[in-house]
């Protein structure tokens, strides 16, 4: 008798085994049923609602104002989203393990200012060196979070709330009133965020590569899939032998590295870096992940979804301006989107739970 795996696989679709249990082993399903099942599982993709929302938004805005998708307009959309995409990927990793990291804004600020200082102190450092230093700095900051969460066994919400304050304080203490402007950094560094490869902004390509790399890691490797287990049911994961402490620490470290990367890119794209850089970004990043289908209780959602969520949220700002809608509606709309995403997620998980209950009852 076929044993149906009771875990939900990362993309939220029910495993094929659950519905195949009624067949005799070894029998190939008919083609119609395969197509039907593919369509069905496509419709259940967690990323579908957010992608659909994005497409609808872009189409409606384009219809009202064709300039929205002019070459400059598209470039702006992609560039605006780049930094949040990278941050959302890191945050998704953390949330999937049933934690949260509220200190990302402060980490980005520290690394951005650090990059500015680096170019002051060592103006001839190669750009790749600046990236390396920034990401290393981010790694250290993320490691502190990771250590406190795993060793002290304290909820990540509290720890990262504390480090949000501490890192911001350090940023203020370090920077004071100093701000570094675009002129203080090498022209080549600043033009990184302007250069395009075949018309596609370079730094957005970097962001997409990051998304692909992390997504492959999550789906294709053992440690990656373990993260879902840790988020779904930490006790079961521990019994199963997954080294939770090590995995969670590495997740926070990775989030720190990504925040560092985002910080360096911020220094390249924007004019000034100072004490208040990155203030308040954390809630936008968490919102992007939630809207993108990452469940706040961990265990499901993908980094691709989080990336699309990030694109959606940044596009809303530009779309509202292009539509000449009062920008005051923007935050309210973001709030509605978050609530909608959670409700959809809840409905989907109720449906899946019912399906699994029914199929398991059938198996017995």
Restricted to residues 271-310, the positions that interact with other proteins (CB under 8 A) are: 271-272, 274-277, 279, 283, 286-287, 290, 295-297
Beta strands (DSSP E) in the chain are 196-197, 200-201
* Residue 240 in contact with other proteins, rule: CB under 8 A: no
Structure tokens at 316: 């809303």
Give least dist CB 29 to other proteins, A: 35
With CB under 8 A, what is the number of residues at the site for other proteins? 76
Beta strands in 218-324 (DSSP E): none
CB 306, CB 91: distance < 8 Å: yes
Quote the CA–CA distance of 220 and 229 in Å, as a whole number.
14
Q: Does 169 bind other proteins (CB under 8 A)?
A: yes
Site for other proteins in 101-140 (CB under 8 A): none
Q: Residues 93, 223: contact at Cβ < 8 Å?
A: no
What's the closest the beta carbon of residue 240 comes to other proteins, in angstroms? Answer: 23
Q: What is the DSSP string of 91-103?
A: HHHHHHTT---TT
One DSSP character per residue, 295-339 reads: -TTSS---HHHHHHHHHHHHHHHHHHHHTT--TTHHHHHHHHHHH
Q: Which member of 42, 129, 346, 354 binds other proteins (CB under 8 A)?
A: 346
Cα 255-259-264 angle, rounded to 5 deg: 150
Residues 198-217 that bind other proteins (CB under 8 A): none
Taking CB under 8 A as the criterion, the residue among 25, 28, 30, 326 binding other proteins is 326
The one among 52, 56, 60, 67 contacting other proteins by CB under 8 A = 67
Q: Does 172 bind other proteins (CB under 8 A)?
A: yes
Examine residue 73 and tell whether it contacts other proteins (CB under 8 A): yes
Residue choice 40, 329, 351, 362 for contact with other proteins (CB under 8 A): 329
Q: Compute the distance between CA of residue 343 and CA of residue 290 in angstroms, rounded to an integer.
A: 11
> Is residue 330 part of the contact set for other proteins (CB under 8 A)?
yes
Under the binding rule (CB under 8 A), the answer on residue 158 touching other proteins is: yes
Looking at 16, 125, 136, 166, which residue binds other proteins (CB under 8 A)? 166
Backbone angles phi, psi at 277, to 5 degrees: -65, 135
Could you tell me the smallest distance in angstroms from the CB atom of residue 39 to other proteins? 28
CA dist 311 and 329 (Å) reads 18
Exposure string of 15-26, with b = 16+ CB inside 10 Å and e = fewer, is eeebbbbeeeee
Range in contact with other proteins (rule: CB under 8 A) among 9-17, 124-132, 158-166, 206-214:
158-166
Which range in 117-125, 134-142, 177-185, 249-257 contacts other proteins by CB under 8 A?
Answer: 177-185
Q: Degrees (nearest 5) of the Cα angle 36, 342, 236?
A: 80
Residue 296 beta carbon to other proteins: minimum distance, rounded to whole angstroms:
4
189 contributes a contact to other proteins by CB under 8 A: no
CB nearer other proteins, residue 16 or residue 296: 296
CB of 167 or CB of 228, closer to other proteins: 167
Contact call for residue 235 and other proteins (CB under 8 A) = no
Contact between 321 and other proteins by CB under 8 A: the answer reads: yes
* Sign of the Cα pseudo-torsion (353, 42, 8, 4, in order): positive
Q: Please identify, using beta-carbon distances, which residue of 126 and 155 lies nearer to other proteins.
A: 155
Q: Is residue 164 involved in binding other proteins (CB under 8 A)?
A: yes
Report d(CA 106, CA 173) in Å as an integer.
13
């Amino acid at each position: 008798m076929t044993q149906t795996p009771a875990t939900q696989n990362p993309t939220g679709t029910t495993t094929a085994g659950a519905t195949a249990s009624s067949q005799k082993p070894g029998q190939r399903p008919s083609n119609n049923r395969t197509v039907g099942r593919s369509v069905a599982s496509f419709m259940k993709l967690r990323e579908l609602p957010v992608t659909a929302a994005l497409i609808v938004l872009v189409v409606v805005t384009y219809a009202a104002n064709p300039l929205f998708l002019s070459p400059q307009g598209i470039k702006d959309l992609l560039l605006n989203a780049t930094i949040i995409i990278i941050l959302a990927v890191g945050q998704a990793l953390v949330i999937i393990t049933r934690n949260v990291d509220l200190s990302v804004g402060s980490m980005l600020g520290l690394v951005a200012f650090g990059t500015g200082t680096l170019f002051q102190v060592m103006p001839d450092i190669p750009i790749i060196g600046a990236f390396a230093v920034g990401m290393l700095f981010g790694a250290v900051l993320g490691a502190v979070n990771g250590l406190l969460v795993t060793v002290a066994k304290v909820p990540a919400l509290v720890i990262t709330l504390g480090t949000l304050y501490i890192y911001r304080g350090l940023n203020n203490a370090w920077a004071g009133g100093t701000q570094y402007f675009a002129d203080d950094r090498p022209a080549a560094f600043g033009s990184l965020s302007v250069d395009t490869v075949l018309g596609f902004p370079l730094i957005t390509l970097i962001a997409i590569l990051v998304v692909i790399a992390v997504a492959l890691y999550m789906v294709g490797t053992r440690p990656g899939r373990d993260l879902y287990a840790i988020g779904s049911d930490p006790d079961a994961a521990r019994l199963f032998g997954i080294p939770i402490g090590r995995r969670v620490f590495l997740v926070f470290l990775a989030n720190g590295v990504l925040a560092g990367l985002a910080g360096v890119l911020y220094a390249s794209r924007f004019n000034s870096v100072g004490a208040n850089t990155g203030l308040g970004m954390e809630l936008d990043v968490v919102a992007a992940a939630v809207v993108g289908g990452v469940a706040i209780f961990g265990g499901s959602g993908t980094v691709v979804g989080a990336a699309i969520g990030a694109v959606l949220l940044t596009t809303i700002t530009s779309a509202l301006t292009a539509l000449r809608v009062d920008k005051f509606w923007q935050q309210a709309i973001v709030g509605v989107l978050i609530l909608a995403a959670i409700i959809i997620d809840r409905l989907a998980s109720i449906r899946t739970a019912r399906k699994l209950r029914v199929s398991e009852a059938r198996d017995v």
